[in-house]
Structure 1
Amino acid sequence: MHRRPSRMKRYLQRPKRVGVVWGLLALFVSSGAYAAPDKQPNIIVIVADDLGWADVSYHGSPIPTPNIDRLVRGGVELDQHYVAPMCTPTRAALLSGRYWSRFGNTSPSNTQVFPTGTLTLAGALRSRGYETGISGKWHLGSLPKWGPKKFGFDRSHGSLAGGVGPWNHAYKRGEYTRTWHRNDVLLTEEGHVTDLIAAESVGFITSPRKGPFFLYVPFTAVHHPLDEPPEWLRRGRQADPKRPQYAASAMHMDDAVGQIVKSLETAGQRDNTLIVFFSDNGGTINPADGDNARYPGGYPENEPLGLNEPLRGRKTQVYEGGIRTPAFVNWAGRLKPGKVHSPLHVVDWMPTLCKLAGHESASDLKWDGRDIWPIVSGETTTPKSRVLYWQGVGRRSAALRQGNWKLIVHRKKAGDELELFDLEEDPGEKQDLSAAQSQRVAKLKQLLADETTRDNDAVPQP
């Protein structure tokens, strides 16, 4: 078994009250009032793919991630940042402010996810004068007719589908194999996928413009299949001999993050740029489970992938290891370093970033998320109580969190199986309390049923 990093346990030592913010946080250097900044910030959202909780060095990993660590030290670490248990759902939630199941989505999807005309985060920011761009993995509709430019992006580049071969940029064999594109037009491009995403992002940042920009960088790293350049693979072997390709991929991505930050400094935009980082779901843990064979090119099957220790579970599961991922926000000119322990969710970013950019919608966007800037900025350390909701992959599971209590439902042919955890006392989800807390289970089941009734209200029409 892979050795657990020695510093890992301290990241699960919970404060006695959810919502306590540790560290000195402030939105404004000169003012504690929460108001939109005088100058609209540039916004960069960086999303890693399948990065495990235990696979960043600031969580004790042997894999060095110095650029990510530097941004965490200078920013606000988000200790309980939740996402979906798989890729497409998280991306849908980020760009809509809504739970993925509202769109009928619970799994990776190559068909259209958003109904035509959906106002996304990119579209909302564009209405406020932002130039919007994406470089990386879209996976919200894998044909050009469903691409990013149809949903608010001025410029687009990368994979319309999911993870791709690092050098041939091909998705799994089938209708969507050819997926690499620029501006929703398929193209052939040479180079390693991480380098291409980094170069496109740097080019976007340094392009001449008069107004602010929004850049979405959904890396394909560290998603399989993996095939790192020799120099990165050499470093990967030194960092983690049992997972050399995975370690190399994580280090390579970290270097790309460093290039993005350096380009902001070169362009004189570092202090006016808000950077958000998180992984789209927890680490895969097991080897690629035969999935590598579905990609053209030929890739080994036996190398283990991500680690989520000491959290329980993995990608595809609604245990903490599948839905709680490394995350932070950094704004060098505005935010002071600190750490937030409050539960936050990927659906919160659209309401939050729209508020910062001064966007107010004329219609009800039915957001499930809320503006979390008062929490992130430290204006409040006692956020309002809330319910968080997850539909699992294929609706085979679901979860709901209220306060420190988390209910998990596993849907089986013989009937539902329930688990209840007190995340304050048991963040590793080792002790099921459902039998001893029947009234609490009943209450959370009703809240879960209420959330479920709101699903499928925005399913794309064929």
Structure 2
Amino acid sequence: MRWHNLLVFIFTGLIVSQVLAKPTPPNIVFIIADDLGWADVAFHGGNVPTPNLDQLASEGLELAQHYVAPVCSPTRAGLMTGRCWSRFGITTPTNELALPIETVTLPQALKSRGYSTFIAGKWHLGSLPKWGPNHFGFDYSYGSLAGGISPWNHRYKKGPYSVTWHRNHELIDETGHVTDLLTNKAVRWIQQQKSPFFAYLPFTAVHLPIKEPAEWLEKVPEVITGEVARHYAACVMHLDDSVGRIIQALEEKGVRDNTLLIFTSDNGGSTAENNDLKYPDDNCPNGRLTGNNYPLRGQKGDVYEGGIRVPTLVSWPGRVKPGRVETPVQITDWMPTFCALSDYNCEYDLKWDGTDLTELLFTHTPLPDRVIYTAGPQWRASSLRVGNWKLVTHGKGESRRIELFNISNDPIESKNLAATEPEKVHEMLTKLGQAAVTDNDSVVQ
């Protein structure tokens, strides 16, 4: 009887200790598309098959109001720091050093908690090796130091940053399509890792210029016509397949159930000319991109919903609650969230603008109403979201144009309520001024 009681005591203690123990920090895979529009995906009504993303949407969690910056470098700065990009003076794509070298970045924080850190794709926060990801917490870095590149020659725009394809600190030349190269590298890296790891995969798809392999063009539905439109569709399908390959790599390694995976885009879709002459010739087709943000207003570069609200999926089997939530969140929220999950605490205030999303992800508990501030390119336009209200300003001073929308009632921003809601406009303008006070407080000196 004595031995029986002792065994029961030990067994009970083990169970209690397991319950009270902190969960193992998850692996984190963050996939970000480039210029992918709201309706470029099938789960938002797009005409291009995206079976892997559709499955993520059906089995995982969709963040239906996930906000980013209107253009690429600012979104990336927000992800890496948990702060609004305007704090660093970054509101447009930049090839110069974007973040002070001493900045505590997301990969640095995770690395201090034992994570291996990896990036394959587009950095665009400093387009020279001396400003590259390895200097900001990434153990392994591969892809484009600069912005979107031609898919086959891997060149950025003509000029000092055109040669940009790299591996860690070295510029290199490789053959192959950019999406395949990035995916192959990510799959191999994941296969070699021990947990925990952070894999950041900022693809260049579907940024111009695009030119897809024949095997993907052959898979495009016949209903889609026009050379650029078919290449664009093939690019989306190719990207979707890459997401599937990443998931398969996690499953084959046996770590899918302890991996938090996020898929999003850096800004809304674009309808710019595909074969941009600023890029070295890669024999890409002529014509406008077919980025689709329907039914949202605006596109890449705008602070309207079509420019800053992007398709976003979250998956962590058994932990993240499946479904769809409408609570507004922002790209700056991911660093506080990942730091909370990895039990990272800094000895000083990192001045985050973002907030921890774990309760929202795990239980769908809504966040309290808060300010979500968006500084547009060169501050020509800004927006502020608080609850259901959204303020949009264009310009400054006496010539400033103001718009006010109720996003709950009018998600396509068709009815400007500024004239009929003067008190709300005044309240929102005050909050906008408060949100902008710390702009430029961390500019590279």
TM-score range, shorter chain: over 0.9
The answer on whether the counterparts of 1:292 and 1:300 sit within 8 Å (CA) in structure 2 is no
Paired residue secondary structure (1:421): strand
Cα distance, 1:284 vs. partner?
0.6
Equivalent residue for 1:317, pick from 302, 321, 324: 302
Cα distance, 1:231 vs. partner?
1.3
- The one-letter code sitting in structure 2 at the alignment partner of 1:87 is C
Cα distance, 1:238 vs. partner?
2.7
- The one-letter code sitting in structure 2 at the alignment partner of 1:423 is I
Equivalent residue for 1:437? Answer: 421
What stretches of structure 1 of length at least 5 have no aligned partner? 1-29
The answer on whether the counterparts of 2:374 and 2:384 sit within 8 Å (CA) in structure 1 is yes
Q: Which of these two proteins has the greater Rg computed from alpha carbons?
A: 2
CA distance in 1 between counterparts of 2:223 and 2:93 reads 31
Cα distance, 1:332 vs. partner?
1.5
CA distance in 2 between counterparts of 1:213 and 1:53 reads 29
Equivalent residue for 1:280, pick from 266, 272, 276: 266
Equivalent residue for 1:297, pick from 271, 278, 282: 282
TM-score of the superposition, structure 1-length normalised?
0.89
Query: Within 5 A, what are the aligned runs for 1:410-421?
Result: 410-411=394-395, 415-421=399-405
Query: Within 5 A, what are the aligned runs for 1:336-375?
Result: 336-375=321-360
| Pair 1:198–1:239, CA change in 2 (3 A) | farther
- The one-letter code sitting in structure 2 at the alignment partner of 1:77 is E
- The one-letter code sitting in structure 2 at the alignment partner of 1:327 is T
CA distance in 1 between counterparts of 2:20 and 2:260 reads 15
The answer on whether the counterparts of 2:211 and 2:285 sit within 8 Å (CA) in structure 1 is no
CA distance in 2 between counterparts of 1:429 and 1:260 reads 36
The answer on whether the counterparts of 1:97 and 1:369 sit within 8 Å (CA) in structure 2 is yes
Deviations 1:276-311 (A, max 9, x none): 1110000013434x7344343243331332110000
The answer on whether the counterparts of 1:36 and 1:356 sit within 8 Å (CA) in structure 2 is no
Equivalent residue for 1:244? Answer: 230
CA distance in 1 between counterparts of 2:338 and 2:21 reads 10
Cα distance, 1:117 vs. partner?
1.4
- The one-letter code sitting in structure 2 at the alignment partner of 1:224 is L
Cα distance, 1:372 vs. partner?
1.1
Equivalent residue for 2:12? Answer: none
| Pair 1:301–1:271, CA change in 2 (3 A) | same
Paired residue secondary structure (2:65): strand
CA distance in 1 between counterparts of 2:286 and 2:90 reads 28
Query: Within 5 A, what are the aligned runs for 1:209-248?
Result: 209=194, 211-236=195-220, 238=222, 240-242=224-226, 243-248=229-234
CA distance in 2 between counterparts of 1:292 and 1:319 reads 28
CA distance in 2 between counterparts of 1:162 and 1:36 reads 43
Equivalent residue for 2:251, pick from 246, 251, 265: 265
Cα distance, 1:99 vs. partner?
0.2
1:450 equivalent in alignment to 2:440:
no
CA distance in 2 between counterparts of 1:222 and 1:456 reads 30
The answer on whether the counterparts of 1:201 and 1:260 sit within 8 Å (CA) in structure 2 is yes
CA distance in 1 between counterparts of 2:310 and 2:51 reads 18
CA distance in 1 between counterparts of 2:237 and 2:367 reads 35
- The one-letter code sitting in structure 2 at the alignment partner of 1:278 is T
Cα distance, 1:333 vs. partner?
3.5
| Pair 1:110–1:427, CA change in 2 (3 A) | same
Equivalent residue for 1:93? Answer: 78
Paired residue secondary structure (2:326): strand
TM-score of the superposition, structure 2-length normalised?
0.93
Q: Matched residues, percent identical?
A: 51
Equivalent residue for 2:6? Answer: none
Equivalent residue for 1:402? Answer: 386
| Pair 1:36–1:439, CA change in 2 (3 A) | farther
Equivalent residue for 1:388? Answer: 372
The answer on whether the counterparts of 1:239 and 1:247 sit within 8 Å (CA) in structure 2 is no
| Pair 1:330–1:36, CA change in 2 (3 A) | farther
Cα distance, 1:413 vs. partner?
8.2
CA distance in 1 between counterparts of 2:172 and 2:154 reads 10
Query: Within 5 A, what are the aligned runs for 1:114-263?
Result: 114-209=99-194, 211-236=195-220, 238=222, 240-242=224-226, 243-263=229-249
Deviations 1:2-38 (A, max 9, x none): xxxxxxxxxxxxxxxxxxxxxxxxxxxx9xxx99952
The answer on whether the counterparts of 2:360 and 2:367 sit within 8 Å (CA) in structure 1 is yes
RMSD of Structure 2 on Structure 1 (CA): 1.8
Instruction: Give aligned pairs, total.
Output: 427
Paired residue secondary structure (1:265): helix
CA distance in 2 between counterparts of 1:261 and 1:424 reads 34
- The one-letter code sitting in structure 1 at the alignment partner of 2:320 is L
- The one-letter code sitting in structure 1 at the alignment partner of 2:241 is D
Equivalent residue for 2:62? Answer: 77
Cα distance, 1:375 vs. partner?
1.1
Cα distance, 1:57 vs. partner?
0.4
The answer on whether the counterparts of 2:303 and 2:383 sit within 8 Å (CA) in structure 1 is yes
- The one-letter code sitting in structure 2 at the alignment partner of 1:136 is G
Paired residue secondary structure (1:389): strand
The answer on whether the counterparts of 2:321 and 2:363 sit within 8 Å (CA) in structure 1 is no
- The one-letter code sitting in structure 2 at the alignment partner of 1:58 is F
CA distance in 1 between counterparts of 2:34 and 2:318 reads 28
Higher helix proportion: 2
The answer on whether the counterparts of 2:271 and 2:288 sit within 8 Å (CA) in structure 1 is no
Equivalent residue for 1:48? Answer: 33
Cα distance, 1:220 vs. partner?
0.1
CA distance in 1 between counterparts of 2:277 and 2:119 reads 26
CA distance in 2 between counterparts of 1:379 and 1:444 reads 27
